[in-house]
Amino acid sequence: MEYLPDEETLFTGVRKLAAGHWLRWRDGRAEYRRWFAPSFAPDEGCSLDESAEAIAEAVRGSVAAHAAADVPVGCFLSAGVDSSLVAHEASRLMDARTFSIGYDDGRFSELEQAASFARAIGLANEGRTLGAEEFFASVPAVQYALDEPLPNPSAVPLYHLCAHAAQSSKVVLSGEGADELFGGYPYYQECLAFEPYMAAPASLRRGLGAAAGRLPAGVRGRRFLMRGARPLSERYIRLEYNFPWTEALGLLTPELGARGAAAPAPWEVTAPLFAEMGAAGLDEVTAMQTADILTWMQQDILLKADKMSMAASLELRVPFLDREVFAVARTLPTALRVTRGETKVALRRAATRTLPAVTAAMPKKGFLTPLAQWLREDPWAASVREVLNSETARMFFRGDRLNALLDEHQRGTRSNMKKIWSAYCFVIWYDQYFREHRNV
């Protein structure tokens, strides 16, 4: 996993209050209850046009509510449909500034497209370019502000984007949450690809998966058969997002690896959640969306957005996560969220009513960074290698395996960016809290 998966923290005696819960301290005792649990209830009678109209109305009302402030309000803007829709609705209400971040390398930057869209809707756009030197120099500050190790590379540009926006705005609107609510991630489409295959007996799929595992890597269909042998609770992509579990254990020192092997595997942690969704009869797309909302969105996406904006004394608001917007999203039939050929089907239809067609149809790109390329170049690869061979790193990891990952990546024989960055960010985070700030 890329994030800490529950209320536990890495500080003794400290736990997080889970989303949708409240805690009350009274007469020396703590009372802890859940007050809200998001759930989908698809209405198969919804048509695409009716759903698009309901989405447009809900988003319009939510942006208006979230834009209310007695200080300047801005919008984060990429070239994607989510932030563009928020910015467009904001432009109806005020003369908001929009803020974007990118890189000199156009393959990883949407600055030009964002600026063009802002001009089209009559809003000012302030673009910020981030280079490798500034990116790496800010990693310690980013990891410290996160409170817990989070190796999501997009935290770094978001840190700089928030600092830039805070120079002229005290509040910004952002597009987080649309992918989880409306079916925006391409891996949701994998569930539809697996649907006919999952009708085959589990024993047959396990046998085919075992046979496929003995085939050379790269053989067409190998990955499909291997993944199809597993139930959704084990195929859920966030469980081994950066590392296959066994490989992650092998990267640790022998003592820590043995302790990790005795602990629950990632899919065992989320098994009760998937069992509950299975009992509720949710289809695989809806189950995966629900899992994302209850785990990844809360413990990675929103944590990152919250901590990076707070580090800049900036208030970040997320109109898509308004309860009225979710009330519409939860009723959408699966086919109006995800199809084999399209994601966010109904949301995109809603967007076509007001946005340019190219923007409404923009595929999911995520918060891009040139990090994989930088990790093949010196001095950045050399500085990362130094950290991965530090005294702190040796406390937790096998240096030979960390170096092998970086060697492979630099040669270009395999892309190990996520694996390298996971270990690197943990070491940086640990040094910030238990070395650099141990006397604070």
Say which CATH number the domain at 350 has.
Answer: 3.40.50.620
Residue 85 exposure: Cα atoms within 13 Å on the Cβ side: 31
Domain boundary among the residues 317, 338, 360 is at 360
Q: Is residue 156 part of a domain?
A: yes
Q: Are 138 and 163 in contact (CB under 8 A)?
A: no
Number of domains in the chain: 2
Rounded to whole angstroms, the Cα distance separating 213 from 209 reads 6
Mean pLDDT of the 207-211 span: 94
Q: What is the mean pLDDT of the chain?
A: 93
Residues 74 and 146 both lie in one domain = yes
Q: Does 439 score more than 70 pLDDT?
A: no
Residues 390 and 350 both lie in one domain = no
User: Range of 435's domain?
Assistant: 370-440
Cα torsion 416, 366, 297, 185: sign: negative
Q: Is residue 37 part of a domain?
A: no
Rounded to whole angstroms, the Cα distance separating 419 from 405 reads 8
Q: Are 87 and 96 in contact (CB under 8 A)?
A: yes
Peptide bond into 186 cis (omega under 30): no
Q: Is residue 233 part of a domain?
A: no
Mean pLDDT of the 102-114 span: 87
Q: Is residue 40 part of a domain?
A: no
Q: Which two tokens stand for residue 90?
A: 């904001």
Residues 184, 240, 363: CA angle, nearest 5 degrees: 20
Query: Is pTM, for the whole model, over 0.85?
Result: yes
Rounded to whole angstroms, the Cα distance separating 111 from 98 reads 11
Residues 296 and 427 both lie in one domain = no
Q: Which two tokens stand for residue 76?
A: 């984060």
Mean pLDDT of the 385-414 span: 96
To the nearest 10°, the Cα dihedral for 263, 266, 269, 270? -170
Residues 57 and 174 both lie in one domain = yes
Task: For residue 96, count CB atoms less than 10 angstroms from its CB and return exposed for 0-12, middle for 13-18, buried for 19 or more.
Answer: buried
Band of residue 440 on the pLDDT scale cut at 50, 70, 90: very low
Sheet holding 73-76, edge to edge: 125-129, 97-102, 73-76, 171-173, 315-317
Residues 149 and 69 both lie in one domain = yes
Q: What is the pLDDT of residues 250-278, one digit of tens each?
A: 999 999 999 999 988 889 989 999 999 98
